[in-house]
Chain A
Amino acid sequence: MKALICIGHVPDTTSKIRFTDNDTKFDTTDIQYIIGPYEELGLTRLLDIKDAGTDLHITAINVGKEETEATLRKALAMGADEAVRVNADATDAFFVAKQIAEVFKTGGYDFIVTGKESIDYNGGQVDGMIAEILGLPSVTGATKFEIEGNGAKMEREIDGGKEVVVASFPFVTSAGKDFAKEPRIPGMRGIMAARRKTLDVKEPVAQVLKTNVSKHFLPESKPACKLVSPDNVEELVRLLHEEAKII
Chain B
Amino acid sequence: MAILVYTENFDGKFKKSTYELISYGKEIAKVENSEVVAVTIGTVDAGVLNELSKYGASKIISVKNAELNDFSSQAHASAIVQAAKKVNADVVIFANNPNGKAISSRVAVKMDAGLVPAAVGIPSSLAPFTVRKKAFSGKAFADMVITSDVKVLTLTQNSFKVIEAPVTAVLEDFNAEISADMFGAKPVEVVKTTGKLSVTDAEILVSGGRGLKGPENWGMVEEMAEILGAATCCSRPVTDLDWRPHHEHVGQTGKVVAPNLYIAIGISGAVQHLAGVNGSKVMVVINTDKDAPFFESANYGIVGDAFDVVPKLNAAFKKFKAGN
Binding site for B on A (CB under 8 A): 11, 13-15, 17, 19, 37-38, 92-94, 97, 119-129, 131-133, 136-141, 153, 156-168, 171, 177-178, 209-219, 222-223, 225-230, 233-234, 236-237, 239-241, 244, 246-247
Contact B143 A165 (CB under 8 A): no
Cross-chain contact A14 with B271 (CB below 8 angstroms): yes
B171 close to A (CB within 8 Å): no
Inter-chain contact A13/B302, CB cutoff 8 Å: no
- Provide a sorted-by-A list of 26 A–B residue pairs whose CB atoms are within 8 angstroms: A122-B134, A128-B103, A128-B104, A129-B106, A132-B106, A133-B109, A159-B198, A160-B192, A160-B201, A163-B187, A163-B190, A164-B191, A166-B188, A168-B184, A210-B115, A211-B116, A217-B140, A218-B141, A222-B299, A225-B285, A225-B295, A227-B300, A230-B305, A236-B300, A244-B261, A246-B281
Nearest opposing residue in chain A for B227, CB measure: A247
Minimal beta-carbon separation of B141 from chain A (angstroms): 4
Report B-chain residues with C-beta under 8 Å of the C-beta of A17. Answer: 136, 139-140
- Given the complex of chains A and B, what is the CA–CA distance between A79 and B128 in angstroms? 45
Given known contacts A129-B109, A236-B313, is B147 in contact with A13 (CB within 8 Å)? Answer: no
Taking chain B's interface residues, is the majority helix, strand, or loop, or is none over half, making it mixed? mixed
B147 & A212 in contact (Cβ 8 Å cutoff): yes
Q: Which of B143-158 contact A (CB under 8 A)?
A: 143-148
Q: Identify the 4 closest CB pairs spanning chains A and B, nearest first.
A: A128-B105, A137-B184, A210-B114, A230-B304
Considering the complex, which residues of chain B in the window 261-290 have a beta carbon less than 8 Å from any beta carbon of chain A?
Answer: 261, 271-272, 275, 278, 281-282, 284-285
| B301–A225 touching, CB < 8 Å | yes
In the complex, which residue of chain B has the Cβ closest to the Cβ of A131?
Answer: B106
How distant is B2 from chain A, measured CB to nearest CB, in Å?
20
Instruction: Establish whether residues A246 and B109, one from each chain, have CB atoms under 8 Å apart when the complex forms.
Output: no
- The interface of chain B, by Cβ under 8 A from chain A, is 8, 10, 71-74, 77, 97-99, 101-106, 108-110, 112-118, 128, 130, 132-148, 183-193, 198, 200-201, 204, 228, 246-247, 249, 252-254, 260-261, 271-272, 275, 278, 281-282, 284-285, 295-305, 308-309, 312-313, 316-317, 319-320
Distance of B127 from chain A, by nearest CB (Å): 13
A159–B98 CB distance below 8 A: yes
Which residue of A97, A156, A240 contacts B282 across the interface (Cβ within 8 Å)? A240
CB distance from B8 to the nearest CB of A (A): 8
Q: Which residues of A contact B189 (CB under 8 A)?
A: 163-164
Give Cα distance in the complex from A131 to B74, angstroms.
Answer: 9
In contact, B98 and A246 (Cβ under 8 angstroms): no
A22–B301 alpha-carbon span in the complex (Å): 36
> Smallest CB–CB gap between A60 and chain B, Å?
21
Taken together as a complex, chains A and B put the C-alpha atoms of A127 and B200 apart, in Å, by 23
Which residue in chain A gives the minimum CB-CB distance to B105?
A128
Residue among B132, B253, B299, B319 making CB contact with A177, cutoff 8 Å: B253
CB neighbours (8 Å) of B304 from chain A are 230
Contact A247 B228 (CB under 8 A): yes
The reply to whether B143 and A140 form a contact with Cβ atoms under 8 Å apart is no
When A122-B118, A137-B184, A226-B301 are in contact, do A160 and B147 touch as well, CB less than 8 Å?
A: no
Beyond A159-B200, A214-B145, 16 additional contacts (C-beta under 8 Å) are: A13-B272, A124-B117, A140-B101, A141-B98, A141-B102, A161-B190, A164-B191, A210-B108, A210-B114, A212-B144, A215-B142, A219-B278, A233-B313, A244-B299, A244-B300, A246-B281
